[in-house]
């Protein structure tokens, strides 16, 4: 039957006047919505979602990983960034890794204890609430929905059950994992009620003791260091105590009528901005949207942006990154002309990184127009799968992103943060600073591509 109703997707848009939360899990989105209804703002709600996702999708995320935040204040029209990513232990050197038989052609395995930098999510959550939150709710109130899900149990979703089941071998072999995440040797099935009382206790300790519980001599900090050292790792109490969330000015570019904002290096957010600059300079980008010529420009712009990012992006405390040059419109014009003239060489494009990871991206907007775009990850599934004794969460393996090539800017070194794939996104209007969208995608090295596709498709459909 013919209908004049336009079909945009399988889902109808959801409208709200009092705020809205979006995540990969309905129970987590409901946790954020509860915080908004209790007087919290977008930042408070985002942290509640992050904690609830740790409970309901531990196969992707958790407090044992890292997080990044872009927060938009509707009152000031300002966007701020929080980088919640940790550094390697001070005693973990490249020579030690090379002497163990690893190298550029033989990278560390995902289960290696040497792939665990200091987890930054716990500090990131607490600092997000303290810096961007409403002040109306305590951290305990914000974490309460997640604590209830962990202690009382929740029905496992089909997607989580699928990924959980794919990690059975890891969970059976990783220290401390099987007793927490497996039920009589199997992963929970869709609809099974799963409980994690150890994680509930971890969140209660965070709420009571703050960052000290995780980083400065608390029970969680002790368990992390003890577990890693038992497995031959080098993390110490001093490594945890030295961790700080990094507040930075976000990077941005102009795209049509808006500014697009990303978290600065060592994340790969700059790749999305470079690609958007190239696309805007590409002559036929808007005249032939979604035809072969447009797709050619889209693909090549992303290949170029990844090539430059893979050469330059590393911890800026260890390596100077030419951010202004890479984001200049003149640089984009040069690259767009090369694409138009089919003048790109394989050497210029360089190799593509086909690695993958599991991540959760989520956003919240409150009734006052503030927005929080946040992302949290273990990196590869359950990360290393290693569970600190009594804590209920796995430790991530973000250190896999280091290069073991001595000449590369992103080479592994003590107290250094690795190249990071996870990136939240946010866009504001150029003319008045109003929010256009808080957005993001999941999928490791694909994320800059996802940002470009999502945003350019949103703009083109208007």
Active site (catalytic) residues: 359
What's 324-375 look like in SS3?
A: HHHCCHHHHHHHHHHHHCCCCCHHHHCCCCCCCCEEEEEEEEECCCCEEEEE
Cβ(145)–Cβ(44) below 8 Å: no
Specify which residues 361 forms β-bridges with: 375
250: nearest Cα among 69, 50, 459 = 69
Rounded CA-CA distance 75/434 in Å is 10
Cβ(31)–Cβ(49) below 8 Å: yes
Rounded CA-CA distance 78/70 in Å is 10
Rounded CA-CA distance 41/32 in Å is 9
Residue count of the chain: 462
89: nearest Cα among 415, 418, 420 = 415
Residue 191 region by backbone torsions, left for phi larger than 0, else alpha for psi between -120 and 50, else beta: left
Rounded CA-CA distance 452/440 in Å is 10
Specify which residues 182 forms β-bridges with: none
Maximum Cα–Cα distance across the chain: 69
Rounded CA-CA distance 443/353 in Å is 13
């Amino acid at each position: 039957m013919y209908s004049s109703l336009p079909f945009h997707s399988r889902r109808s848009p959801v409208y709200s006047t009092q705020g809205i939360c979006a995540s990969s899990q309905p129970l987590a989105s409901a946790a954020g919505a509860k915080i908004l209804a209790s007087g919290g703002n977008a930042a408070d709600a985002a942290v509640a979602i992050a904690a609830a996702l740790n409970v309901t999708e531990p196969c992707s995320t958790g407090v044992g990983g890292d997080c990044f935040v872009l927060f938009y204040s509707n009152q000031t029209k300002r966007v701020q960034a929080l980088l919640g990513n940790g550094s390697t232990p001070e005693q973990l050197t490249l020579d030690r890794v090379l002497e163990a038989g690893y190298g550029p052609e033989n990278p560390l395995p995902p289960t290696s204890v040497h792939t665990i930098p200091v987890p930054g999510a716990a500090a990131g959550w607490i600092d997000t609430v303290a810096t961007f939150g409403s002040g109306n709710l305590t951290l305990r109130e914000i974490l309460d929905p997640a604590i209830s899900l962990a202690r009382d149990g929740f029905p496992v979703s089909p997607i989580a059950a699928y990924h959980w089941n794919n990690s059975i071998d890891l969970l059976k072999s990783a220290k401390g994992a099987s007793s927490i995440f497996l039920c009589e040797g199997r992963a929970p099935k869709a609809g099974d009620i799963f409980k994690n009382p150890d994680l509930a206790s971890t969140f209660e300790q965070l709420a009571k003791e703050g960052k000290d519980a995780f980083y400065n001599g608390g029970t969680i900090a002790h368990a992390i260091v003890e577990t890693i050292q038992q497995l031959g790792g080098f993390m110490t109490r001093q490594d945890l105590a030295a961790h700080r969330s990094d507040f930075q000015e976000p990077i941005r570019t102009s795209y049509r009528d808006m500014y697009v904002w990303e978290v600065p290096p060592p994340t790969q957010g700059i790749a999305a901005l470079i690609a958007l600059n190239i696309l805007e300079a590409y002559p036929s980008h808007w005249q032939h949207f979604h035809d072969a010529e447009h797709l050619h420009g889209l693909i090549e712009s992303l290949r170029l942006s990844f090539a430059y990012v893979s050469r330059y992006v590393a911890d800026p405390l260890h390596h100077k990154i030419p951010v202004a040059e890479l984001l200049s419109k003149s640089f984009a014009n040069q690259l767009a002309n090369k694409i138009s003239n089919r003048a790109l060489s394989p050497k210029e494009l360089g190799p593509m990184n086909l690695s993958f990871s599991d991540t959760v991206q989520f956003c919240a907007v409150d009734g006052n127009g503030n927005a929080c775009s946040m992302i949290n990850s273990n990196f590869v599934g359950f990360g290393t799968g290693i569970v600190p004794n009594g804590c209920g969460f796995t430790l991530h393996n973000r250190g896999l992103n280091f290069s073991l090539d001595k000449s590369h800017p992103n080479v592994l070194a003590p107290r250094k943060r690795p190249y990071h794939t996870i990136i939240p996104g946010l866009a504001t209007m150029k003319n008045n600073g109003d929010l256009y969208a808080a957005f993001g995608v999941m999928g490791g090295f694909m994320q800059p591509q996802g940002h470009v596709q999502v945003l350019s498709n949103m703009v083109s459909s208007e």
